Structure formats: C-alpha cells, structure tokens
Chain A
Amino acid sequence: MNKKLLNLLLVIVMLAVLVPTTLAAPPAQEGQDYVVVADDWLSKLADKYLGNPMAYPAIVEYTNKKHAEDASYAEITNPDLIEVGWKVYIPSAEEAAAIAPAPPAAAVTLVLSNWHLAEPHWEKTIKAAIPLFEKEYPNIKVELQVVSYAEKDAKYATEIQAGAGPDLMHLAGYSIRNFVESGFLYDITPFVQKEPSGFLDQWYPELVEVLKYQDKLYGLPSDHMAMILAYNKKLFTEAGLDPNKPPTTWDEFVDYAKKLTRDRNGDGQIDTWGFGTVGAVDPGWELRFSPVLLSHGAAYLTPDNKCSALNSPEAKEAFKFWVGLVTDAKVVPPGVTSQGAGAVRVQFANEQIAMKIGSGWTEPIIPTINKDFNVPENLGAAPMPVKAGKTLAKTTTGWYSSWLINKNTKYPEQAWTLLKWLTSKESDQRWFDGARVLSSRRDVSGDPDKGLKPYQPIADDKFSQVIQAELKHAQINPQLKEWPQIADTVNKEVQNAFTGSKSADDALKDAHDQINQILAPYRTAGETCPAY
C-alpha cells in the first residue's frame, strides 16, 4: 500500500519535474497579434507561444492593456471565455515574464515521518511550522506521515530494506545507533563540510557523536532533555506532605511513596499509589530505569562496551531498590509489568499515582488525557532523587532524539535543506513553544561553559527550568547497535523480579550473563567478562 502510494507520488513528482523542463524552453518569440479561432483557449495559446500554460494571465493583461488604447483588441473579462474572431495580443516571453512570472513548479515532495504527529499538541505545532518552510523554499513540498512511537523502528527498517521509506525520519535514542550502524541512513558528511566551520558546535558534542560512524555523520540532533520526577502537588497535600518539598533522596522517595499509597475513597481498597512507572517491554522503559542505576553510581556496561557492568555492588543495590518498590514497599499499582509509557501517563493524569518519571513531554500531555488536571497548580517537577551520601556527576538519563535522512531518498539536497531547517535555532524554539521539548542546541537549551543562556521561555517555565537545570546531570544511555536488545533484556529480567518468578539477585545475574552473550562479538578470543 505504502509502496504503491510512494510509486504514485514518485510518478507525480517525476511529472512535475519533467513536464516543466520539456516545456520550459519557449520558442523565442516576439510579441504578436493573434485572432482567436475555434477550439482556442487561453492556456492553450500560452502553452503554444509562451511555453507555459499557466502564463495565460499575461495574454489577458496585455490584451486588455492594448484594448484600452485600441478598441480593435478584445477585452477579456473572463479568461475562461474567449470568442472566435477576437484579436488578442500575445506578449513576448520577456514581456510575459515581466507581468506574471510563472510560479516555480513544486519540483520535489519530501515525505517527513514523525511519531509526534500522533500527539495533538505536537501535530498542531508541526503543521503550523511546515508552511513556513515551504514558503521559504517554494521548490520543496513536505508531506507529513504519522507513525506510532512503538512501531516506528520496525516500520522504517522494513521500508528502508525494501528500498523505500520516508525521506526524513525522527528517531529516539533507543534505536538511533542501531539505524546508524545498520547502514539505513544517508551520509550527510559532504553537506556538513560545505557549511561554515564550527557548524556542528551548535549542538552538545555527545549528541553529535552518537550520529557518527566510521568518520561519517548520519543525522542532526533534535531534542534533548533530562528525566525528572513529576509529581502531583494536590495528592502530596492530601497525604500531609509539603507539595513544595519533593523527595531528594531515594530513602525519602520511598517514605513519600508509602505515605501517598492510600485508600482515598474509603472503600477499604487502596486506590492511589505513590509511584507509577513503565514495566512493560517498551522503548520508554530504559529512560525510567537508568536514573536509578546512575544515581547509585552503577552502569549497564563497562566503559569499553565489551561487558556487562551489572555485577557491581552499586548495580545490585540499585536493582534491588527498584524491584523492592514493587515487591516490598508496594507503592506501585498492580499490573506494572503490563504498563507502557502511555498507560502510566493515564494513571498519573487520572490521579491514580502521585509520582512518575517524566520529562518535557509530560506537561502538555497530561491535560490531553484529563482536562481537569490543573497543570499550573498541581503538576510539580523535581530533579530525580539520588542515593544519600553519594556525590555523582551524572544522576539521571538524558533523553535525546535525532532527525535522519533515509539512505533511499531521491532528493538528498532537498532533504538536507529540510534537515537543517528542522534543527535550526528557530525551529527548536518553536518545538519548545508548542510541545515543551528542550533542544540539543546549546543556543536553545543553554550552555554555561560557552556563556550561552537558555531560550527565555524555557527559563520562565517552572516545569521546564527543572529539566534545563538537570541537563548537566544527564547522561545518555550506552551507544551501540545492540542497545535495544540489551535494554529489553534488563527490562525482561526486571519483570521477572517484579513478579517474583525470580529473586532480584537471580534476575540481575541472568541479565548480566545475557548481556555478556550479546556483546560477545566485541570481544577478542582471549577476552572474558567477570562473572556475576
């Protein structure tokens, strides 16, 4: 179906490209008088004499001008209606060009695919922005294509392998490296080399780095945010907690979560829980689990990405803490292992849970689920809690996404133009205004080292300023092709520990062993990984 559409589109585009070029060379013609015969119409004349059927207004214009001086010329009041025997004036090509420059043909249509289009506030923002681009670059039309967040990777991978797919796509950190290393993307290095030096310095360097592979660059960074703790101030107050003093350490967090887990309607059943999180196998899972690892001083992998690092005492502590939230503290609603990111948002918006891990997208999504949730009053944001007594540079996950060009694109030049526009300072400011996402650009999200301040509306927004301030503590997840498999492995083992089918220790050990198996191709024959 898509391929068919794409082919159709291709035919249209080809026609649009070819037709004007074959006809674009109008016979060098002096202006001349012409007497209308049967079966004439203006666009036909314009096509014949001016080489462009759309140039007919020039004939109308000149004929009417002549009519004013010389009544033997006809007066054309309706271009659709001319009579046999009328004398009209057909201008020369130059004259015609002076009057009505034929609008440049829409030469190229780029397909832009983005999961954000499925979210109303994002859809509105993007649909408002694209016409600005089309106005600036009249030769490029943009066709928007919606895709679901969970299915986008599979969809793109299939299409690209089949030699098709959208021209530009938007991917999240979970799978970017997989796409880069699988050879699915267009190498934009030559374009970047033509840009002024320092072009890539506009972005945070680690986010450019993830798009590089074998000295080539495969995309430009899009958003970048720190994961933070979102909480419901109203539920805090109801539970007797100070809504302006969110938990700062994990111990406090558990304490708070227990107090927030309550029976609010008095029917004897607990109906509100302290904390809700993603437990299903979901690309959003890693974002919520990594802060726990990081803030305990642990990591998924060894720095060389050759072995699992989940056997460290810190990792064990972090893993047990996380599992304990469900099995011991019981502050998470039942069914956590089947909750995806969307389901947790619904729980939060409907006040079933008081705290969750979120980021910039949380603020605008909540009211689309429950319009009665008073966001300015009740939505609180706080840095992720940390392990008491530890001082660590990185304590939370850095979310990031990128814009990428499909290696199959027929129009790399135009795609590059659009890519640059989508990641420009103005665009990233626009995305913040409409969708509250922070940018990978230093000149939008700020960079104290370079003396760059964040975009003023970010600094003014109570929720976003927490995310902005946390960027310095944010670390992106490991960057390798096998990352989705590694993340899913830990995700599944957390499920096993949540449900009690394995002890936390056994589950973590199994995760450790599986990851080491996945990473085997990175190790040379003699290299081994430490056992759990």
Chain B
Amino acid sequence: MNQSLVSKALFRSIRLNTGFAFVFPCLLLLLLVLGFPAFVAVANSFTPVWSNVKTFTLDNYIKLQQDKQFWESLRVTIVFVAGTVSLHLILGLGVALALNTEPLGNWFFRIIAILPWTVPDVISGLVWRFMYDPTAGIINYFLDRLGVQNPYVEWLAAPHLALPSVIFADVWRGYPFVMLILLAGLQAIPKELYEAARVDGASVLQEFRHITIPGLSRMFQVAFALDVIWQFRRFGLVYNMTQGGPGNATDILPLAIYRQYFRYFNFEYASAMAVVLAVIMIAISIPYVRMMVKRT
C-alpha cells in the first residue's frame, strides 16, 4: 500500500474533522435558533403545542385550503414577488452596467446607488407612506405643481394602485443588493474578452449579448434565488405602508400570518400558513443550493 496515500487520506480526514469542529458551534446555534422554532411551528400546525389538549389533526390545512383570503394572499404574494424581483434585476443590472463604466465621481454614484439598501425596510415603509399620502404627500404635491387636474391620487388607498405603489417602493428599497452582486460579476469578466471582441468588430450589443450576459449568468442566478426568498418574507415595508389594505389588495402572506398569530392568537392556523410559505421557499431555494454545492 502506498504510504503517502494513506497519510494523505488521514490528513484529509483530520482536516475535515477540524473543519467540522470549527463549524459545529455555528451549526448548533443555527439548530437552536432556527431549527427549534421551525420544528415547533411545524408541530404546531398539526397539533396545538401550547395547549393541554394534544391531538394530531389536519384541520388547519383543510381550513387553509378553503380559506379564500389565504389564496388571495398567496396570489398577492406571488404578484408582489414577481414584480419586485424582476424589477430589482432590471434596475440592478442597469445601474450596475452604468457604474461599471466607471463614470467620473464613481464613488459618489456608488454611495448614492446603495443608500436605499441601508435604510431598514420598516423606515422605508414609513417614508414611502408619507410620500404617497394623498393630501400631504410630496408625490401628489409635484403632480399638483405640474398642473394635474385631480391631484389627490390615492396611491395606497385605491385597490388597483396600492400594490403597484408598494412594489415601486420596494424596488427602490431592494435593487441595490442585486446591483452589488451584478456589479461584482461584471468586474469579474476579463477586460480582454471585450478587447478581443472589439478587434473582431463586434458591436456593443453583440458584446453585451455574447460576453456580458454569459459572464453574468451565475451571478444572475444567485441574485435571483436570494431575492425571491427574501421577497417572499418581506414584512416591514408593506406592514408600514398599507397593513395589507385596502381590503386584501396588498395583503402578502407574511402579513396574513402575523395577523393570525399576533392579533387573533390563532397560533396553530398561523403556523400552518407559515409552513406553506416555508415549503414554497424551500422549493425555490433547492436549485440555488444545488448550484452552490455543485460549484464547490
């Protein structure tokens, strides 16, 4: 038997175990902080954990299936996520491309571009609510100055406007993260590729199509997966802007769960809703995790 191969294998297993030892406290913490509540939530959705009467039941899921408001919330959530994520990607890519040209005062524009992301989403929600206010908000003020006939646009109070208004605010809040990832991706594309293309007489559009897009695809996938997961969990911004109203127009699932759990104390029912949301997010994140695993 080859001596060095054995020692190599041994060395490798020690290294792996040391690695595990380093990761272990973190894993333990994750299990305690995330795993335990998650376990309780799942258990709670089948049987009341906090009650003396403990019987296994699927009632909560059956009720969920018949709950029109739940399906409506799910629909609103999907529109919200689809709207915000696609606009985050489009705006993020646009700004990343602009910043990648390294304009004069690059650092200044970078700071400006990233500012919305530094504001907690709760605060963003409050700020946008004030800006959208029909009578006192700055948006309608400008519309009025521009000579718009009926300047009292009910941005958050009209059912067909509320969701687009909320999505718009969230695009402002959330695009910098996508922009940062894509900017990093852009800067990782070797400049030589562009130079070579230019020598071959490629147009800007062709460069974009054949170098930038393929070079960015990985980063695009990462940004997409993370953003989708985060947007499914968005709470503070919408809560502070509309509380889900008017009616159910902006009632995304996290708000519905919050209301059931913290306002109505329907702990088991809220847990069932949360489990459904978690299952959706896990399903979405599987490709992302597989991608990460493949890379390493």
Contacts and interface: CB of A to CB of B under 8 A. Distances in A.
Contacts of A493: 247
B246 A337 contact: yes
B216 interface: no
Nearest to B247: A496
Contact of A154 (B152, B244, B263): B263
Interface string B261-293: 011111000000000000000000000000000
Given A269-B151, A335-B157, A499-B157, A280 B243 contact: yes
A31 interface: no
Nearest to A482: B264
A488 B266 CA distance: 14
B120 to A, nearest CB: 16
Nearest to B155: A335
Nearest to B51: A183
Contacts of A153: 262-263
B246 A499 contact: yes
A334 B139 CA distance: 14
Interface in B171-221: none
Contact of A499 (B152, B158, B243, B265): B158
Contacts of B264: 178, 482, 484-485
A178 B266 CA distance: 11
A333 interface: yes
A250 B292 CA distance: 66
Contact of B265 (A178, A352, A496): A178
Nearest to A350: B136
A258 interface: no
Contacts of B133: 335
A386 interface: no
Contact of B134 (A154, A335, A481, A485): A335
Contact of B157 (A157, A269, A334): A334
A338 interface: yes
Contacts of B265: 157, 178, 182, 481
A213 to B, nearest CB: 14
B228 to A, nearest CB: 27
A335 B132 CA distance: 10
A338 B129 contact: yes
A347 B246 CA distance: 20
B135 A492 contact: no
Interface string A479-500: 0011011001000110110111
A501 interface: yes
A337 B247 CA distance: 9
B144 interface: yes
A334 B152 contact: yes
A261 to B, nearest CB: 13
B22 to A, nearest CB: 27
A281 interface: yes
A161 interface: yes
B59 to A, nearest CB: 11
Interface in A326-383: 333-338, 347, 352
Given A269-B144, A337-B246, A338-B245, A488 B263 contact: yes
A495 B135 contact: no
A391 interface: no
Given A333-B135, A334-B135, A482-B264, A492 B245 contact: yes
Interface residues of B, number: 28
Contacts of B246: 279, 337-338, 495-496, 498-499, 501
Given A154-B263, A178-B264, A338 B242 contact: yes
Contacts of A338: 129, 154, 156-157, 242, 245-246
Contacts of A282: 243
B39 interface: no
Interface string A496-529: 1011111000000000000000000000000000
Contacts of A500: 159
Nearest to A498: B246
Contacts of A72: none
A154 B262 contact: yes
B15 interface: no
Nearest to A336: B157
Given A157-B262, A269-B144, A501 B247 contact: yes
Nearest to A161: B50
Most chain A CB inside 10 Å of its own CB: which residue of B244, B248, B265? B265
Contacts of B243: 280-282
A244 interface: no
B12 interface: no
Contacts of A352: 135
A502 B244 CA distance: 17
20 contacts: A153-B263, A158-B262, A178-B264, A281-B243, A333-B152, A334-B154, A334-B157, A335-B156, A337-B154, A337-B156, A337-B246, A338-B129, A338-B157, A347-B135, A488-B259, A492-B245, A495-B245, A498-B246, A499-B157, A501-B246
Given A153-B262, A495-B247, A502-B247, 6 more contacts: A158-B262, A269-B151, A279-B157, A281-B243, A335-B133, A501-B247
Interface of B: 50, 129, 133-135, 144, 151-152, 154, 156-159, 242-249, 258-259, 262-266
Interface of A: 153-154, 157-158, 161, 178, 182, 269, 271, 279-282, 333-338, 347, 352, 481-482, 484-485, 488, 492-493, 495-496, 498-502
**Which 9 pairs, one residue from A and one from B, show the smallest C-beta to C-beta distance?**
A154-B262, A335-B134, A337-B246, A334-B134, A496-B247, A495-B246, A334-B152, A335-B157, A337-B157
